[in-house]
Amino acid sequence: MYHAVARAGVRGYSSHVADRDDTRPGLTAQSRIALSKEQVSCDLDGEVAIVNLDNGVYYGLDPTATRIWGLLAEPRTFADICGSMLRIYDVEPSALEADVRAFVSELAMQGLVVIT
C-alpha cells in the first residue's frame, strides 16, 4: 500500500522554534542529495529519529520517509530516489515526484540534507 510521501513529513520537536530559511532549493533530476554532516540519526523500530546538531531540533520520520532517508545513506540524485520509490510503490510518477520533491526540500530547509 502506498502512503503519500507528502504525509511522511518531517516532525520536529524542540523546546524552541527552529530558525528556518524559507527559500526552497531547486531540484532537477540530476541534483545530488546527501545527508548533512550537521545531523545524526538512528533507527527506532522501523522509523528514524534525527537530531539537527546546529539547532538541537529532533525530527521523526514515518516508514515512507524512513525509506527515502535510507536511500540517502549514500549521496543520490533526485532521479535515483524517485526511480527507487517507483519500483516500490504503485503510484503515478508525477505524483510521487512532487511528493519526494516537497519532502527533500523540507529536509534541506531544516538543514538535514545538502542539495548540489
Percent of the chain at pLDDT > 90 equals 72
Return the pLDDT at 93.
97
**Which residue, 29, 115, 35, 18, is CA-closest to 73?**
35
Give the CA angle between residues 9, 55, 109 to the nearest 5°: 40
Taking the CB of residue 72, how many other CB atoms lie within 10 A of it? Answer: 19
Give the CA angle between residues 3, 30, 114 to the nearest 5°: 75
Strand partners, 50: 41, 59
Which residue reads 527559500 in cell numbers?
Answer: 23
Answer with the residue of higher pLDDT: 17 or 37. Answer: 37
**Mean pLDDT for the chain overall:** 83
Whether the pLDDT of residue 69 is over 50: the answer is: yes
Whether the pLDDT of residue 12 is over 60: the answer is: no
Which class in CATH covers the domain with range 8-15+31-115?
A: alpha beta
What's the whole-model pTM score?
0.78
For the chain, the domains span 8-15+31-115
Return the pLDDT at 46.
84
Residue range 91-109, pLDDT digits in tens: 999 999 999 999 999 999 9
- Return the minimum-mean-pLDDT range out of 5-14, 33-42, 93-102: 5-14
**Which residue, 10, 64, 62, is CA-closest to 36?**
10
Helices assigned H by DSSP within 43-114: 63-71, 78-88, 93-109
The helix or strand, by DSSP H or E, that contains position 34, with its residue range, turns out to be: strand 32-35
Q: Averaged over 56-84, what is the pLDDT?
A: 96
Answer with the residue of higher pLDDT: 23 or 96. Answer: 96
